Amino acid sequence: MNTITPELRQAIEQAGDGPVRLEDPQTNTSYVLIRADQYERIKTLIEGEDLTSQEMTRHMWEVMKDDWSDPKLEVYDSEEYA
């Protein structure tokens, strides 16, 4: 298992409970780092289990409900993401 560098720890602390976005400068591949408990909660969505749209909505709400009112998410309401 890899360990967390001091720079990554700082990014994690700045993100609070939210995800940390990373980019590999060699490949320009983007990654999202989340806590293991958050990953376990959404793993069925990622692994492709057949879910109805209602089940998927319920799962996503469970994962995101604590972050819904996070002021940092207001950026997604900007025209940049429209």
All structural domains of the chain with their residue ranges:
1-33, 36-82
User: How far is C-alpha 63 from the geometric centre of its chain's CA atoms?
Assistant: 9
Using alpha carbons only, what angle is made at residue 36 by residues 30 and 37, rounded to the nearest 5 degrees?
130
pTM flag (> 0.75): no
**Beta bridge partner(s), residue 24:** 29
d(C-alpha 64, C-alpha 27), whole Å = 29
Strands (DSSP E) contained in the chain are 20-24, 29-33
Instruction: Look up residue 46 and give its two tokens.
Output: 């990622």
Query: pLDDT value at position 4?
Result: 92
Q: Contact 67/60 with Cβ under 8 angstroms?
A: no
More confident: 77 or 82? 77
Digit-coded pLDDT (tens) for 11-60: 999 998 889 999 999 999 999 999 998 888 888 767 766 777 787 788 77
Digit-coded pLDDT (tens) for 3-24: 999 999 999 999 988 899 999 9
Query: pLDDT value at position 52?
Result: 77
